[in-house]
Structure formats: C-alpha cells, structure tokens
Structure 1
Amino acid sequence: MFKLPLKIVMVLIILLIIIRFCCPRDEGVEMSLRLDTFNNESDSIELQRVEIHQDILVENYFQYVDSIVCKYDSLTNYPLTEHLLVRANSWIIDTLQHTDYYLMKARDSFVYNQKKMIALRKGAFINIPDSIAADQLLYAFQQTKIDINIPEFTLRIYEDSVQLYKFLVRVGRNEKKYLEMSGRIQDLKTKTGEGTIVRHVRNPRYVNPVNNHEYFVTRRDDQEVTKLPQIPFIETELNGVRHGQLIHPTTNPVTLGKAYSNGCIGTNEADAWILYYYAPIGTKIKIRYDLNVQNEKGEQIVLKDIYQ
C-alpha cells in the first residue's frame, strides 16, 4: 500500500488548517450580509420617493394613488393609506384644489371636463412618509374634528383646539318635500348631532333626489354648461343614525351661505378636496344649530333663525 511521506502529510494538514481558518466561507457570509445591508439601505432610499413617469389625469388619479399604496404598504412598518400618503405630500392637495372650475376661470381658463385635467405631473416625486411622520399624521387624524354650525353656514376643521380651516357652506332648506329617491316626504333641514365620517364616495353618481334621475352635466353660475367633476362625497353618521346626509361640493357656489340643499352640506370644489383629506373614515364630526356666536372681532352676536 502506497504511503505518503511524513513531511507531505504534515504539509497537507497545515494547508487544511489554513483553509479552515482563513475565512473564505466566513468572508462569503460577511460579504453577503454587507450586500444585504447595502440593498436594504438602497431600498430605504428608493422607498422615500416615487417618481411619476407620466401625467396622471383626475379620472385616473385614485387608481394611481391606490397603486402606490398597494406597492409600498408591505415595505413600511405601518399601514400605509391614501390619506397618509397625500397628507405627507400636501402639494397634491394644492394641485387638486386648482382643478376647481372657478379658480381656473379666474385664470382665464375654461374647463369643460375636470376629469381630463392633470392631477399629477410627469417628473414630480411623491414621498413615502417614514414611521415618525406617519405616527404624527395618525395622531393628527385622531385629534381632528369637523364642526358645522347650520345657521352660521360655516364648516370648521379643528386639530385639538386649533382651528385649521373655516369654509362657507350651504345647508338644507326649511321645508318638506316629496323625494322620488326615498319614496316619501322628507324634511329637508340639515340634521344635527355628533358622530363620525363613515364613508367616502370617490367617484360619485350625481342624482337629483326629487326625480331620482342621474345627470352628467351642470349649468354653472356663469351659465356655462360643463361635465360634472370627480370630487369625493363624504357620508356622516350622527347619533348612531345614517340619514344619507352627505358633505359634497356644489358646482354653484353662489348658493353657499344659504339654506338651499335637500339636506346635504355643500362646499365649493377646492374646499371639498381639503375636507376629504382631513377627514379619513372615523373622523369626529359635530353638526349643531347655535344662534349665539362670536364674530371675527370676538363680539357676541345672534344669528338669524333660518329654521325658525
């Protein structure tokens, strides 16, 4: 039987020891970890900004935002939502506000179909909020309250006790009328109570409750006829009851500051976008009927009793 010389055996043993302890395998593991860390850091950098690669129209806006939420929700350590994403990118709200027909008209631009306007421009970036920013926004949502005083025709948005926004609105008429939509005589006065926002309608159907007919165009205050805009409607629940009472934009802001609607609260188009993104599902709301209020100077005044 062939035997290796002792010196060769010793050399082989030494080589095996060198191979075992000089870390080719360990270096491979360490390199893999370094690459994983680098890739994770790279993902983190990529996660923070999403580039918009083509113009997004209003009619495709919600689908596009939903696609971002769906893609990045699994990569964040908190539940990513549309409201979190947009509130972390307030420029989006500003852009949507400026699809308002009357704001565009003031810039000498006639808009027949708001849905064909650009909501998000190619080349812009949307930031994905980190966990700290998300926590701050979630806390802000919890502290937000919508306050509506019917005879004042005013909607306010509060965070804690700080008033963030104040909007002129229209409210329900002081009369009763048969509505084909409900099949009975309805009291058209806006209902009061405390509750929450329970539903958003992001692509609403416009239906005349009097005859239950759907309509697709509107005559504006300037007598121009346009397509109806795509702006979310908000449904409320007051004292545990859903009255079908919505907060939604009106295409005729001349009616703001009046008892004009069939019970819903109407805002202008620009304000409706702000309200939508400050009122996620579960937001607290109070609709009241207070005649004794303070004016802008802090003086006590008594409002007209529109519901007598």
Structure 2
Amino acid sequence: MTTIKLLFKTNLIIALLIILFFNTKRYYNSTTNQTNLTEQKDSIIKKHFIVDKNIQIKNYFQYTDSIVNYYNSLTTYQLTEHLLIRHNPWIIENLANTDYYRMMEKDSFVYNQKDLIVLKKGDKIFIPDDNSAKKLLSSFKNTYISINIPEYKLRIFEDTIKRFEFPIRVGKNEKKYLKMANTVVDLKTKTGDGTIVNHVKNPDFYNPVNNHKYFLTLRDDKKTTKMPQIPWIETEINGIRNGQLIHPTTNPNTLNKAYSNGCIGTKEADAWVIYYYAPIGTKISIKYQLLISGNDGNIIKLTDIYNTLSL
C-alpha cells in the first residue's frame, strides 16, 4: 500500500512538472512572439515605401490614401495623409511645381495639369516613426492661419514663428445676385475667428453668377487650359460655414485685389503648401486691420478697400 501511494505521488509530481514545463514554454513563446511582433512592426515602420509606378495628379490622392490605409495597421498612432506628406516635404515641392505659371517659366505649356507626374517610380516615401509623428502632431496643434484683408496677405504661423506669407485676393466690395445662392449676396470676405472644417480634393467648378459648370479657364497669358486639380479648403468663421473657401486662382494677376465673390484666392503653388499646413481643425483668423507695422517698424496705413471708415 505504501508503495502504491509513493508511486502515485511520484506520478503526480511528474505530471505537475510536465504541465509547468509546457505552460512556461507557452508563456515564453507568447512573450517572444509579442516581442518579435513589436520589433517587426518597428522595423517595418522605419522602412520607406517605394513608389511602384509613375503617379499622376489625377491619381495622387487615391495612391497616398492607399499608403495611409496600409500603414495604419502597423503604426502605433493614427497615420494621416497630412502626417505622411509633411514628413516628406519634397512631395509638397513637387506638387507646387505643377503650378501653370511655374511650368511656363520653364517654357512648358500644360493643358491638363491632372496628367502631370508628381511621384515617379522608384521614389522613396518615408513613414514617420513615433517621435516624428508626435512632433508633427504638436506642430499641427500650434499652427494657425492669419489673414489680413486690406493687406491681401495670408500668413501661416507656428506658435509665434511665421512659417509662410502668401499674396491673396479677397471678395469685392459689392453686392450681387448669385444664382448659386438664389439671392443677392454681399461679396466682401467675412472677418472673424474659426477653424478649417473640410477639404475638397477634387472640386467641381461652377460660375456662382449663373450656376453653370465649367471645365476650362483662360489664363493671364490668354491661353486656355483645363481646370487644375488642387484642394479647396473650407472654413467655418464665427461658427458659420458660409462657403468662404481658400482656393487657388488660375489668374494670379487678380492677386492683391478685391476681386473674388468672397473666397480667398491664392497662387496654385501656394495653395498646395497651405493645404498641407492646414489639416482639419487648424485655427484661422480673418481680420480687417488698416494699420500695420512695416519692415522698418514704422506704421503703415492701408487702403480702406471696404470703406469701413465712412460707415
């Protein structure tokens, strides 16, 4: 009987040791696999993405979206188009260089901007690591757009540092019936504070006066081209989305003038830069300031284009 008990205890101990061994091995393998997956994920994120074919502007957003969607399953943060492209600023420069007038300076007439190649096969697009993503997200949070209507200037600031300054056109000092709105509209650009609330990446073009859709534009050099594909930026000012957009004009001769139906117009090249420095949620302030400080520190009085002093 004693022998049977001893044998039973011995077998029980052996069984417990076997269970302990396999559980320890399973835990080790699980921990090792998790470590390997983390290391593998980190390794993948650090790698660059190689463009596998030439990408034209008409396919650019679809292509960048596919990269973002793929890497979002690998990053520890929410990868976005703005994070990806700001981490690869050479892409912004490529896009800006598709500006019709920049191309004409190189004696290259472009009838259809959408056919231009902005990413070439073999180009390397780097995926931001955690630290780079955090820095960019912090930059986004501290970036704001400042517009002074009578100065015809749009500036982009990060904290108190001015990053960019662009010439613009603003709304006319008149009221007009717009069929698109089906009412008489005050065309002056509205002042106030707000945010960027939407991007229109492939806009359609309508004449607001007659509400007719159009596809072609007459350039400043009297040449006709197709309308370019450049994102439009929608603002919400003082809590109101009144259709006041920031978008490129195909006629830069109208910059530094009160010329539009209320929107803020920019050069084509500048519009790309503004777009990538104005993700959804970016703060914007539109003011009407007649007294400004010149480069020499002296006060300059601007022309009162909306005749506010006579009101």
TM-score by length of 2: 0.88
The one-letter amino acid paired with 1:303 is L
CA apart distance, 1:44: 2.7
Counterpart of 2:186 in structure 1 is: 187
Counterpart of 2:73 in structure 1 is: 74
1:31/1:183 CA distance change after superposition, 3 Å: closer
> CA RMSD, aligned part only?
2.1
Residue 165 of structure 1: SS of its match in structure 2? strand
CA apart distance, 1:25: 10
Counterpart of 1:142 in structure 2 is: 141
The one-letter amino acid paired with 1:306 is I
CA contact (8 A) 2:169 2:254 kept: yes
* CA shift digits 1:63-98 (9 cap, x unpaired): 011111111112111111111111111111011001
CA contact (8 A) 2:217 2:250 kept: yes
Residue 135 of structure 2: SS of its match in structure 1? helix
Residue 162 of structure 2: SS of its match in structure 1? strand
Counterpart of 1:41 in structure 2 is: 39
Counterpart of 1:110 in structure 2 is: 109
1:29/1:198 CA distance change after superposition, 3 Å: closer
The runs of at least 4 aligned residues of structure 1 exceeding 4 Å deviation read: 23-40
Counterpart of 2:126 in structure 1 is: 127
**Is 1:219 the counterpart of 2:218 in the alignment?**
yes
User: How far apart, in 1, do the equivalents of 2:25 and 2:236 lie?
Assistant: 62
User: How far apart, in 2, do the equivalents of 1:33 and 1:192 lie?
Assistant: 58
Where does 1:208-287 land on structure 2 (aligned, <5 Å)?
208-287=207-286
* CA shift digits 1:5-59 (9 cap, x unpaired): xxxxxxxx9xx9xxx7xx9998898688667755653443332311111011100
The one-letter amino acid paired with 1:101 is Y
CA apart distance, 1:191: 0.4
The one-letter amino acid paired with 1:191 is K
CA apart distance, 1:178: 0.4
Residue 222 of structure 1: SS of its match in structure 2? coil
Counterpart of 1:84 in structure 2 is: 83
* CA shift digits 1:120-169 (9 cap, x unpaired): 11101111111111111111111111000000000000000110000000
User: How far apart, in 2, do the equivalents of 1:40 and 1:50 lie?
Assistant: 19
The one-letter amino acid paired with 1:281 is I
Fraction of identical pairs, as percent: 57
Residue 66 of structure 2: SS of its match in structure 1? helix
User: How far apart, in 1, do the equivalents of 2:161 and 2:34 lie?
Assistant: 46
* CA shift digits 1:225-256 (9 cap, x unpaired): 01111000001111111111000000000000
User: How far apart, in 1, do the equivalents of 2:114 and 2:176 lie?
Assistant: 33
Counterpart of 1:10 in structure 2 is: none
1:134/1:155 CA distance change after superposition, 3 Å: same
CA apart distance, 1:265: 0.3
* Larger CA deviation: 168-177 vs 122-131: 122-131
User: How far apart, in 1, do the equivalents of 2:249 and 2:171 lie?
Assistant: 13
TM-score by length of 1: 0.89
CA apart distance, 1:188: 0.5
User: How far apart, in 1, do the equivalents of 2:234 and 2:110 lie?
Assistant: 27
User: How far apart, in 2, do the equivalents of 1:34 and 1:120 lie?
Assistant: 39
* Larger CA deviation: 290-299 vs 272-281: 290-299
Counterpart of 2:161 in structure 1 is: 162
